[in-house]
Structure 1
Amino acid sequence: MQVVLTLILSFTVGLMVIPMVILWIKKKNILDLPGGRKIHKRSVPSMGGIGIMVAFFAGTLGSLPVSDYSNYIYFFCAVTILAFIGFWDDRKDMRAGHKLIGQLVAFFLVIVLGDIRIESFYGFLGIHELPISISYALSFFMLVGLTNSFNLIDGLDGLAGTLGALSCGFLGVWFMSTGFTAEGIICLGMLGSLMAFLIYNWHPAKVFMGDTGSLPIGCFIAVFIMLFIRENGEMHPSAVYKFHAPITSGLTLMVICSYDTLRVFLRRIRRGKSPFSPDKSHVHHFLMRMGYGHDQVAMFLGAIKVLFLGMVIMCSGMNEHLMFPSVVGLTIAFGSLINVVTLRRVREKVRKSPPISQRYTLKSNGAIKPTKSTWEEEAVLES
């Protein structure tokens, strides 16, 4: 009953609040304008994360037992801080260093005060309980990496919402099934709010979540991955819903975001650029250059994530030493396949395209401007 109540409440609140947020953003003229690295062609309200967070807190706090509030008070404070950081960044474009400091403050609340952290490797690589200093350092690194990788994947309509909803749904069902009711309610509260958001964010999007949504949601999923790893690792080996490779299984929930971030960073470094320099080399950009639309890319990457989750469930009895290389190998294989197919498709388009003299347009001021398809093709071929 609590599951149904949480989902219905967060979903309903989201349906009512998000349109009001859209109207408020339009009134304040806080719009995400096209141009530059942006792939949308019209001005769209950003900061839809406000509606997501309002719906999440309404659904969760409305059905979570009062006795469980204190256990997650620091977590709730952390995601609220990240929502405010994202809101300010959407308004004013904060410096990366300032954003990182704010994130570290939020993560301090979760890791040190809330005591939610990576405590053990549970035998992976022969490592069990971690020294407290290493536990803190690894937990901070994990939260920074996963939170920002989710932020970076939010590049087209419906994608971040779809991937986030899949993670929250998986975690919510697992926590409820294993008796961790409070954790299950919290995850399903976020699931309901993301489902409501996707109605307005599906292509063509009426609103974007912005950093106001992607930062707290990325932290949310990362924190519950750590809880998933801890609770799984401490389960009795004969438990029905135990995953015997808790670290690999947990990280699989962010496999697309993590792979994309690592691939982009390595590509930029290889080309002599800063790993933080912006460009249009994310996996969703490549898929769109193959001719797929926003909704098709979101469903395609969502389907790949479902495939990985299915693999994790079917192989729940495998240990870390078997699961980790299997997941890493499958991830690299999928990524390499996408790269190869994309380059082949674009090169075919180049061969069939008009002569070079017809691929540029002359602007009124005498400047020569490449057509959209031209710079897209050149960007891929450069990679």
Structure 2
Amino acid sequence: MTFAGLATFSSIFLIGAMLLTWAVLIYLRRKAILDMPNHRSSHAVPTPRGGGLAVTPLLIVLVAGVFIYAGVRDIGHWLMLAAGAGLGILSWLDDRHDLSAAIRFACQFVAVIVGVFALDQPVLGGIVPVWLDHVVVVFAWVWFINLFNFMDGIDGISGVEAGSIGLGIFILALFIPLPEFIGLGYIGLGVMSIMAGFLIWNWHPARLFLGDVGSIPLGFILGWVLLETASQGAWAVALILPSYYLFDATITLIKRALRREKVWQAHREHFYQLATQRGLSHATVSAMIAIANLALIAVCFVEVDIPNWVRVVAALVVVLALVGMMLRMPAKGSRGA
């Protein structure tokens, strides 16, 4: 596809996301479908929740379109996409009626088990038996879905994270224009464009939130993209691009589990939440994450002949620096260091 073609492709999804999110916002306001503030919330006023009603259909159309363009006929890929759409429907019901954690997790495991058949190669590179590779992938994928949901707690954060991952995958396809990466690159570009259109409405102060109907399917599809990227040999890229979300959610889960708290319940202990509690604005924190993600992309693709494990260590340094700034950077109007 030419530059003009890529620009047109990106524009379609950006404008589509902007307009469809606007329509969804009108619907949510009319139906008074609001996220009411509570002691665990990071917002202070009732805000429409369900922006995923715009994001998720566009995401499904994007992936389906790329599959059709690439001539994908493998039933496993189409079943994976159907499972993602099913999670979107389930998550909308959860947004409206608060389904039990058992139902949510059971459906996520079913969706992920179906999705495993859309992976073309073993993700762990054949270092373990195929059955064990599948088991590890299933649990890792379910964890990624939920951490993406857990981390969607302030204005703009998930749009920034998903868009950054999409940009990284698109750049990977530019650097390595092989058939196994080109389709993923189109999906990455589309995800970045959709999230840019959504962020017009979700940037601080957000006019609406993504909701589970957006964050769960987004985590599912991005999980597949990253796992497929890893299965094709680019495991370091797949690990580095979402490394801030992986680090924050995993460390927070471990801390809460050690205190024997209910890890599936909402809380305000993520590093980005601690930053906003210190007085940093949602926009500042999301912008910091965006800048760190650009640094992570640079770590992935800087033209230096270094081993992948060195890139992973460098990514950890970037994430630790981001977390350190979140916990120590003075808020606007504060005194001292």
Q: TM-score, normalised by structure 2?
A: 0.87
Q: Are residues 1:111 and 2:99 paired?
A: no
2:137 counterpart residue number: 139
Secondary structure class of the residue paired with 1:228:
helix
**Larger mean Cα displacement after TM superposition, 247-256 or 175-184:** 175-184
1:17 counterpart residue number: 20
Residue 338 of structure 1, CA deviation:
4.0
- CA deviation string 1:227-270 (max 9, x = no partner): 21122x2xxxxxxxxxxxx3333111111111111221122134
Measure the CA separation in 1 of the matches of 2:40 and 2:268: 6
2:252 counterpart residue number: 264
Q: Are residues 1:74 and 2:79 paired?
A: yes
Give the conservation status (yes or no) of the 8 Å contact 1:157–1:208: yes
Give the conservation status (yes or no) of the 8 Å contact 1:152–1:257: no
Taking a change above 3 Å as real, the CA distance of residues 320 and 185 of structure 1, as seen in their structure-2 partners, is: closer
Secondary structure class of the residue paired with 2:242:
helix
Secondary structure class of the residue paired with 1:207:
coil
Aligned residue runs from structure 1 range 1-383, under 5 A: 1=2, 2-59=5-62, 61=64, 65-66=68-69, 68-71=71-74, 72-112=77-117, 114-116=118-120, 118-121=122-125, 128-177=126-175, 178-180=177-179, 181-231=182-232, 233=233, 246-314=234-302, 317-328=305-316, 330-332=318-320, 334-335=322-323, 338-339=326-327, 341=328
Taking a change above 3 Å as real, the CA distance of residues 315 and 271 of structure 1, as seen in their structure-2 partners, is: farther
**Larger mean Cα displacement after TM superposition, 44-53 or 178-187:** 178-187
1:365 counterpart residue number: none
Measure the CA separation in 2 of the matches of 1:176 and 1:61: 21
Residue 3 of structure 1, CA deviation:
2.2
Residue 302 of structure 1, CA deviation:
1.4
Structure 2 unaligned regions, length at least 5: none
Give the conservation status (yes or no) of the 8 Å contact 1:146–1:218: yes
Matched to 1:163, the amino acid is: E
- CA deviation string 1:54-100 (max 9, x = no partner): 33344555566455243431232122122112211111111111111
Give the conservation status (yes or no) of the 8 Å contact 1:10–1:60: no
**Larger mean Cα displacement after TM superposition, 103-112 or 193-202:** 103-112
Identity %: 19
Give the conservation status (yes or no) of the 8 Å contact 1:64–1:185: no
What RMSD, in angstroms, separates the aligned Cα atoms of the two structures? 2.5
**Larger mean Cα displacement after TM superposition, 326-335 or 268-277:** 326-335
Taking a change above 3 Å as real, the CA distance of residues 286 and 45 of structure 1, as seen in their structure-2 partners, is: same
Q: TM-score, normalised by structure 1?
A: 0.77
Residue 218 of structure 1, CA deviation:
1.1
Measure the CA separation in 1 of the matches of 2:223 and 2:9: 21
Greater C-alpha Rg: 1
Measure the CA separation in 2 of the matches of 1:37 and 1:211: 16
Matched to 2:86, the amino acid is: I
Matched to 1:133, the amino acid is: W
Secondary structure class of the residue paired with 2:192:
helix
Q: Which has the higher contact order (CA 8 A, sep 6+)?
A: 2
